[in-house]
Structure 1
Amino acid sequence: MDTHRKPPRRILIIEGHPDPSPQRLCHGLAEAYREGAREAGHTLRTLILGDLDIPLLNSRAAWEGPAPQIVEACQQDLLWAQHVVVIYPLWLGDVPAVLKAFIEQVFRPGFAFDPKRKATGGQLKGRSARLVVTMGMPGWLYFSWFSAHSLRIFRRNVLQFVGIGPVRNTVFGMVEGASAEKRRVWLDEMTRLGRLGV
């Protein structure tokens, strides 16, 4: 467990819930993290994917070609950041479609990795990340029965592939119908992580 504060960092928070409503738990978790990070003096930027019009990729040519302007802006935020926090709900065992579209558009060849390199070792080294996932099932079941499949793929096949690391994760399970007390515990944990900048 991290017990000390890190020097102020540039932190990018990506809210991956397709519904940008402030009533969503993912938004509350992001706000709690922001609150702690501000208290500790970290510099913040936020991308709320539900508010962005990220186009879907439909061909390899589009993936390898020039990025749309909105994608370039997201890439600049990623380059600016020293630490990236991605918060999203588990939907059908995976990330929501809006987050998948963001990943495919932003982590392009030439930007996130060199397509001519045979070995992995991306171009976004020097950044760390935290994945925060909410889900209806118990967290222990997601890890033990489902082997945290989509979380592991996101961490290994995307973030670590492009050089981001370490990548930590936080999972909040049984979110449907959770008591106010339980939600308060989760929010307090996010505030603590925000203060630490991890």
Structure 2
Amino acid sequence: MSRRILIIQGHPDASRRHFGHALADEYAKGAEDSGHDVKRIEVAALEFPLLRTKEDFEKSPPASIMEAQEAIRWADHLVLLYPLWHGSMPALLKGFFEQVFRPGFGAEYQGGKLPKKLLTGKSARIAVTMGMSAFAYRWIFLAHSVKSLKRNILGFCGIRPIRTTLIGNIESLTDKRRMAWLDELRGLGMLGK
């Protein structure tokens, strides 16, 4: 079954390509080869301000964010790729999520009741590259920032299932291991997972 897939590349450096871009390319190639429809968002290429007040959060978002919201509404499956910086996602990606997941987009607040989840029926994959061992991040640091993204942003809006791919020791990966990760992401793209 064909799926509509949105790849969100969260690396904040727009000046050059990184391994996360190659991972996104391979995922997209696998998905397109299997007949899935694919769109992409490069967060580093978007213009948007950081939110600083409650009033900023509650007003209409800039055009680049409205386009991102439309792409998320269009998608059946989201693929989020980013590097782990200081134990979490880069600040630009967090700022993007704060802009996108405003009241009325991901959840509708109902005055004292639990919010209505507006993105139910969508699934996601989070792929994170990191300098440290993925084993250490998962079992010593308990993958705290990925769990927060899953629970407090995506899950809060009804997105599930949410799967993760953690790629550790990125600076010391051999060419063979890099190719294995690229093959894995291409295979996930073929499956639309």
Instruction: Name the TM-score, length of structure 2 as normaliser.
Output: 0.96
Aligned twin of 1:155: 150
Aligned twin of 1:37: 31
Matches of 1:37 and 1:21, distance apart in 2: 26
Aligned twin of 1:165: 160
Matches of 1:174 and 1:121, distance apart in 2: 39
Matches of 2:74 and 2:49, distance apart in 1: 23
Instruction: Could you tell me which runs of 5 or more consecutive residues in structure 2 were left unpaired when the two chains were aligned.
Output: none
Q: Aligned pair 1:113/2:107, yes or no?
A: yes
Question: Which of 73, 80, 83 is residue 79 of structure 1 equivalent to?
Answer: 73
Equivalent AA in structure 2 for residue 132 of structure 1 = A
Q: Report the CA distance between 1:21 and its aligned residue.
A: 5.0
Conservation of the 8 A alpha-carbon contact between 2:5 and 2:75 = yes
Conservation of the 8 A alpha-carbon contact between 1:20 and 1:27 = no
Identity of aligned residues (%): 44
Q: Which moved more, 1:32-41 or 1:50-59?
A: 50-59
Conservation of the 8 A alpha-carbon contact between 2:110 and 2:116 = no
Conservation of the 8 A alpha-carbon contact between 1:9 and 1:82 = yes
Question: Which of 79, 86, 97 is residue 92 of structure 1 equivalent to?
Answer: 86
Q: Which moved more, 1:114-123 or 1:129-138?
A: 114-123
Per the alignment, do residues 193 and 21 of structure 1 end up closer, same or farther by CA in structure 2, a change over 3 Å counting?
A: farther
Q: Report the CA distance between 1:20 and its aligned residue.
A: 3.1
Matches of 1:134 and 1:115, distance apart in 2: 34
Equivalent AA in structure 2 for residue 160 of structure 1 = G
Instruction: Provide the secondary structure at the position in 2 that maps to 1:57.
Output: coil
Q: Which moved more, 1:142-151 or 1:16-25?
A: 16-25
Matches of 1:185 and 1:22, distance apart in 2: 23
Matches of 2:80 and 2:144, distance apart in 1: 17
Q: Aligned pair 1:13/2:22, yes or no?
A: no
Equivalent AA in structure 2 for residue 79 of structure 1 = R
Matches of 2:134 and 2:118, distance apart in 1: 32
Instruction: Provide the secondary structure at the position in 1 that maps to 2:73.
Output: helix
Conservation of the 8 A alpha-carbon contact between 1:87 and 1:131 = yes
Aligned twin of 2:120: 125
Higher strand share: 2
Aligned twin of 1:4: none
Instruction: Could you tell me which runs of 5 or more consecutive residues in structure 1 were left unpaired when the two chains were aligned.
Output: 1-6
Instruction: Name the TM-score, length of structure 1 as normaliser.
Output: 0.94
Conservation of the 8 A alpha-carbon contact between 1:121 and 1:161 = no
Per the alignment, do residues 73 and 159 of structure 1 end up closer, same or farther by CA in structure 2, a change over 3 Å counting?
A: same
Q: What RMSD in Å do the two structures reach over aligned CA positions?
A: 1.1
Aligned twin of 2:43: 49
Q: Aligned pair 1:25/2:39, yes or no?
A: no
Equivalent AA in structure 1 for residue 29 of structure 2 = E
Matches of 2:115 and 2:179, distance apart in 1: 40
Matches of 1:32 and 1:165, distance apart in 2: 23
Instruction: Provide the secondary structure at the position in 1 that maps to 2:171.
Output: coil
